[in-house]
Structure formats: structure tokens, C-alpha cells
């Protein structure tokens, strides 16, 4: 073999490796967040349907829908955003209108039992320390969800 053929083969190999690395870097998706809805809860496992959230071109993107098992441990932090709806009297005084952005909102520690109380399709955002993209079961570091409080209904029950 002559020198020029060896150089050409070397250039082709290096070019192929660079292209392969570039292709891998562009298509390597990692995600430490899953947004979805609770389908059911069994013990410390939440069965959910939703999407992995990842960054692409500087924007957050959701993957295709997936079904996952989210494992809740003693180290999992549950946080709920409690939104208090207007009372019947407040609604009557404002012709039934209200501004959702002005409602009382309060972030509080959550409990797994909140997600088991007849709340089908409860939206949740799940955060992890590791890449969970494509995994069907993983441990959650933090779970965030919303809870809406209707003061008139809660007062009648007490």
C-alpha cells in the first residue's frame, strides 16, 4: 500500500468517528423530569401516564407518551400547590367571575395519600437526580402536584 492510500483511509476513519460522535450528541436525549397524570397508586408506587421532559435547541420539549412506575421512598419530597377557589358569596358578588391568577395559592408539603383519594388523572411533575428517559420505573426525588380547595364544600363537611 502506498502512503496516500493510508492517509485517505485514516481521513475517512477519523471523519466517520467525528460524524458518529456528532450524530450521537445530537440525538442523545436525557431527562430528569417526567410530567403526567396518576393512573393509580399501589403502596409506595405511583402508576402514571405522561411524557419525559428534556431540552432541545434551548427549549423544553415533551417526549411521546409513556407509562411509568414512580417509586416513592422516604427521601422523596412531595409538594402540593394548594389553590383556594372563591366562595359562593364571592362568586355571587362578582357575577360568577374570578381571576385565577389572583386566587390564594400556597405551597405545602404533600402526602402520598393525596394522590390516592379518588383523584383519577391527577397531574404530577416528577423530578429525579438521574437520567430517566425511556425508563419504565424509577425513584422520584421530588413530586409536585396541585390541589384545589373549595371553601364552601370544605366548611359543610367539617
From the number of C-beta atoms within 10 Å of its C-beta (0-12, 13-18, 19+), residue 12 rates as exposed
From the number of C-beta atoms within 10 Å of its C-beta (0-12, 13-18, 19+), residue 67 rates as exposed
Domain boundaries, the chain: 1-30, 31-157
Residue ranges for the chain with pLDDT beneath 70: 1, 17-27, 118-120, 154-158
Annotation: CATH topology of 31-157: OB fold (Dihydrolipoamide Acetyltransferase, E2P) (2.40.50)
Q: How far apart are CA 110 and CA 12, in angstroms?
A: 57
pLDDT of residue 119: 62
Q: Reduced to 3 states, what is the DSSP secondary structure of residue 107?
A: strand
pLDDT of residue 22: 57
pLDDT of residue 127: 96
Amino acid at each position: 500500500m502506498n502512503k496516500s492510500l493510508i492517509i485517505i483511509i485514516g481521513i475517512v476513519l477519523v471523519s466517520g468517528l467525528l460524524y458518529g460522535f456528532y450524530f450521537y450528541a445530537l440525538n442523545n436525549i436525557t431527562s430528569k423530569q417526567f410530567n403526567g397524570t396518576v393512573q393509580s397508586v399501589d403502596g409506595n408506587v405511583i402508576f402514571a401516564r405522561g411524557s419525559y421532559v428534556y431540552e432541545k435547541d434551548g427549549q423544553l420539549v415533551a417526549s411521546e407518551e409513556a407509562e411509568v412506575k414512580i417509586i416513592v421512598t422516604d427521601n422523596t419530597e412531595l409538594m402540593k400547590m394548594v389553590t383556594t377557589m372563591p366562595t359562593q358569596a364571592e362568586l355571587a358578588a362578582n357575577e360568577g367571575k374570578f381571576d385565577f391568577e389572583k386566587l390564594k395559592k400556597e405551597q405545602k408539603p404533600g402526602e402520598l395519600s393525596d394522590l390516592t383519594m379518588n383523584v383519577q388523572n391527577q397531574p404530577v411533575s416528577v423530578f429525579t437526580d438521574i437520567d430517566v428517559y425511556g425508563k419504565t420505573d424509577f425513584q422520584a426525588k421530588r413530586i409536585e402536584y396541585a390541589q384545589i380547595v373549595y371553601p364552601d364544600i370544605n366548611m359543610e363537611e367539617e
